Amino acid sequence: MARRSARKRIPLAQQMVYDNMRGQFEAMGTGGQYHQCQKDYALRLIDKYGVRATARILEIPRRTLQRWCRSQSKRVRRCPAWVYAWAARRRKKRAFWSWRGYG
């Protein structure tokens, strides 16, 4: 029973942290357009969590965050670096099995 409640409490605690981050982000602005301190805060979160996670945490479009990164000359990758290595291994496996008539 205690294990099940811990499973429920961990995501709730994580969501509370994200809500706190979003609250800090919203408190920095005055409404309407985003203020520069909000952009700086979001860029710090991008360095720590990545673009997709930051977009999910702050509930703002990912493309907006990518545009801010480009304006700061920060390189934004479409996906994490490990994905390219994974895709190369996958292509190699497919070629291996395709040559044997399975693809």
pLDDT tens for each residue of 18-42: 999 999 999 998 878 999 999 999 9
The answer to whether 66 touches 76, Cβ cutoff 8 Å, is yes
Closest CA to 38 of 54, 27, 46: 27
Does residue 49 register a pLDDT over 80? Answer: yes
Q: How many residues does the chain have?
A: 103
The mean predicted confidence, pLDDT, of the chain is 88
Distance CA(93)–CA(87), nearest Å, equals 10
- Going from N- to C-terminal start, the domains of the chain cover 2-99
